Every structure is written in structure tokens, then in C-alpha cells.
Chain A
Amino acid sequence: MDRRIPSSSQTVGPFFTIGLKHLIDRTVELDYAGADVIEIRGRVLDRDGSPVPDAMLEFWNAGDTGGDAMVGSREHGIPDGFRRVTTNLEGSFAVRIAKPVSTTGEVGEQAPHLMVLVFARGLQRHLISRVYLEGERGNDHDPVLLGVPAERRSTLIAKVYGTESYLWDVILQGDNETVFFAW
């Protein structure tokens, strides 16, 4: 089998909503019959604490969503486990997505979490992060969180804000910089 080198990444640039907003427009119409839903809201901030008004976040819940996490239905085509949002002029975002559950696999039991991809002008490759939920029992034993330096783990844990509602900021650089993973 001939090996291929993966294509190089390039920035999403400032005008990505032209091509990528359609998934956002359509996901707000979706209902979540049967699934528990959480909301995560927060801000994307740069080195200077300035809001990043042109970022896009993709959230991925690979676990059991009550519906179908992976496969989009024929009608709307968007899986329950995937949501795309953008920041506004204040750098704020809000995402509603099926609540993650703990999962067991070859790496042991993982606490409920979402994979997060961050895209923006200035980022030549997207950033990969994870968000966990404050108060979940499995957080202390999660094999991925335990692989993060202890003093930085809190950057991956969204704070309880209300009922099924959480706060989580993405700090691209500087004090309290969010943990991003190598890929």
C-alpha cells in the first residue's frame, strides 16, 4: 500500500462563515427528542485577553447521545454528536449538544467529555482541546486528564453555571492558557 503524506493545513481565514455557516444555521433548528442536552457558553480570548470575534468551534460527542451520535439522518444530515458554533463580536459562543456520558474502552473509563476543535484567522492549523464537566465523579480518574499537568487540568473543566448549563473559556495564549493537544 503506498503511503501518502497528509495534506498541509491552512488557516480558515476571516471569511469562513461564507462556506461553513450552513451547518450552524441548520443545527439551531434541530430538536433533541429523547436526549439530555447541555449548554456550554464562554469566550475565546487571545494573548491580550481580547475577544476573538472570528473563531469557529466544533464540538464532538462520540459517546451515547440517546440518538445517533455519528450518523446524520437523511432529513438534515447532521449527527447528534456534532455541533459547530462561531463567536460573536464579544468573542462569545454558546453551544447546545447532547450531554456526554462516561465511556469505557481499551484506555479504561473516560469521564464525560467533548472533543473541541478551534479554528480562527491566525491559526494555520486548528487547535484540539477537550472539555469536561465540573462535578462529574469520573474526572479524578480520567486517563486523559491525568496525562495533563495537574496545574493546567482546570482549563479543561467547564464550570457549572445553571441547570445543565456550563461556562468554559478558550484562552489561546498567556495566563491560564487552555490545554491544547498535539496532532
Chain B
Amino acid sequence: MSELPTVEPPIAGTQPEYHFPPYVSSIARSPRMPLVMLPKTRTEIIGPVFGPGLIRAHDNDLTAQHEGEPVGERIYVHGRVLDEDGRPVRGALVEVWQANAAGRYRHKMDGHDAPLDPNFSGAGRMLTDENGHYHFKTIKPGPYPWGNHHNAWRPAHIHFSLFGAGMLSRLVTQMYFPGDPLQPLDPIFNSIPDEAARMRLVSSLDMQHAKPDYALAYMFHVVLRGRDETPFEERR
């Protein structure tokens, strides 16, 4: 049998370990047996291409999905999705979800004693354009307490899910906000050993794209694994 090409491991410290005891939920849910080297076959290299039929009006405007305007600080979020060579990932599906301005998720399992906002669902999705750009409008999410340890609070964040050129490019992550004093206290954020890698999950204030007298803007770039190993397939 010929030697199978395998997936390269991540650069040391740039990805969290599965077993990270300060994040209590990881203890009983993370594998203990050795991970097996993943061969790089067609299965891993290609991936689904989502069509524009998936995206509906207001999917990238989380402030316009209900009759009234949600409470809180309006913001724009935008950035680029790139591969490891810095090339734009085009047509990438970006899915986002978040708590409302009071730090409450519209989810039946969220027991935090903070108000739901009838005008905010907290979900959005979009496809990147020809330059790998995505953008959406939302409300700045609030921090909220969680049960990990005594007096544990999550820093404000927006969840991101992304698909790239192939299934190996798949990424779920969180975008944070600059200057949040809860970040150094958060085991999820700090599960990434490398400080520079951690800080790449913190968006930057972008005054150039802010709309005066209306809303601030934050910029957040994402780099997906892979280097465009398959030609981009035209969407139908």
C-alpha cells in the first residue's frame, strides 16, 4: 500500500487542546485515546458548496428580523475569510449567533435571569463575496454568567461557523471585542495557549467603516485551513 498523505498538525499553541480542565465541560467529553492520523483523500479535501438559495432577506441584518428594533448598541461587523496563502475564500457560508444586549440567548436552555428581546433572534448567515468579504449588522452582545466556576462570566462574543474549500477547512469559533476586561478571566478564550493566536479572535474597532451618528464597526478576519487545493466550483 502506498503511503497516505496525512493532515498536518496545527502550529503549536494555536489551537486549544480537547482536554482543558479549567473548562469543566471538556473533562468528560474529550477523547483520551490517541488521535489517529487523518489521511488526506478526496473526502477530506473537497466539501459542500452552499447555494445562494440558502440565504434570505435580512439574514445579514440581525436588527431587521422583527417588527421593531432590538434594544442595545447597533454595530456593523465585517471582515474577510482567507486561506492559508492569504487568498480569499469565495462563496463561503458564514453562520453567526449570539446573545442579545442583555446577555441572554433566545434558547430554552438559557436560564440567565436577563430579559429576552422580542425584536432580536440573534442568528444570521451570509456567503462571502468574490473578495472573501462578509458583513452583517447586529447588536453588541452582552456578557453573561455561566456555571463553569464561581462567579464565571463570559466576555462578550459572537459565535461564527464557517465552511471553506473543503471539509478540512471547517471552523467554528468565537469573535471577541477589543478591551473586554473579562477576556483574561475566561477559560474558553484562554484555552488557546498562544497569545497572538488568542488575540486574533479579538475584533478591532474600525472607525473607517463606522457610520457617523449611527453605529460603530468592528473588523474580524478569519483564516481557514487549506490552500485552495481544489478549483473553486461555480455555484449554480
Tell me, yes or no, whether A binds B. yes
Which residues of A line the B interface, CB within 8 A? 1-20, 22-23, 26, 46-48, 50, 52, 54, 58, 60, 62-63, 70-79, 81-82, 103, 105-108, 110, 113, 115, 117, 119-128, 130, 143-144, 146-149, 152, 172-174, 177-183
A62 / chain B contacts, CB cutoff of 8 Å: 42-43, 46-47, 167
A121 / chain B contacts, CB cutoff of 8 Å: 25, 29
A71, B123: Cβ atoms closer than 8 Å = no
Which of A108, A143, A172 is in CB contact (< 8 Å) with B30?
A172
B49, A70: Cβ atoms closer than 8 Å = yes
Which of A4, A147, A178, A183 is in CB contact (< 8 Å) with B168?
A183
> What is the bound-complex CA distance between A103 and B33, given in angstroms?
29
In the assembled complex, how far is the CB of residue B158 from the closest CB belonging to chain A, in whole angstroms?
9
> Knowing A124-B16, A125-B15 touch, does A48 contact B28 (C-beta < 8 A)?
yes
> What is the bound-complex CA distance between A50 and B27, given in angstroms?
13
B123, A15: Cβ atoms closer than 8 Å = no
B95 / chain A contacts, CB cutoff of 8 Å: 19-20, 22
Count of A-B contacts judged by CB separation below 8 Å: 272
Instruction: Give the contacts of B168-226 with A (CB-CB under 8 A).
Output: 168, 170-174, 188-189, 191-192, 197-198, 200-201, 222-225
A144 / chain B contacts, CB cutoff of 8 Å: 4, 39, 41
Known: A70-B48, A105-B42, A125-B15. 8 other contacts (CB 8 A): A8-B200, A16-B159, A19-B95, A19-B96, A47-B28, A117-B170, A122-B30, A182-B7
In the assembled complex, how far is the CB of residue A74 from the closest CB belonging to chain B, in whole angstroms?
5
> What is the bound-complex CA distance between A5 and B4, given in angstroms?
24
Instruction: Give the contacts of B11-55 with A (CB-CB under 8 A).
Output: 11, 14-18, 20, 23, 25-33, 35-39, 41-44, 46-55
B109 within 8 A of A: yes
B49, A72: Cβ atoms closer than 8 Å = yes
> Knowing A79-B49, A143-B1 touch, does A181 contact B159 (C-beta < 8 A)?
no
B4, A143: Cβ atoms closer than 8 Å = yes
B223, A1: Cβ atoms closer than 8 Å = no
30 example contacts (A-B, Cβ-Cβ < 8 A) are as follows A1-B86, A1-B87, A3-B85, A4-B83, A4-B85, A14-B107, A15-B105, A18-B106, A19-B97, A22-B95, A60-B167, A62-B167, A71-B233, A73-B53, A73-B236, A74-B52, A78-B48, A107-B2, A107-B39, A117-B170, A122-B26, A122-B29, A123-B18, A124-B16, A124-B17, A130-B43, A144-B4, A144-B41, A147-B4, A181-B35
B236, A74: Cβ atoms closer than 8 Å = yes
> What is the bound-complex CA distance between A95 and B191, given in angstroms?
32
Which of B10, B41, B47, B124 is in CB contact (< 8 Å) with A107?
B41
Which of A19, A105, A181 is in CB contact (< 8 Å) with B36?
A181
Q: Which residue of B lies closest to A13 (CB)?
A: B159
B128 within 8 A of A: no
B222, A183: Cβ atoms closer than 8 Å = no
B84 within 8 A of A: yes
A152 / chain B contacts, CB cutoff of 8 Å: 33
Which of A81, A124, A179, A180 is in CB contact (< 8 Å) with B188?
A124
> What is the bound-complex CA distance between A125 and B109, given in angstroms?
22
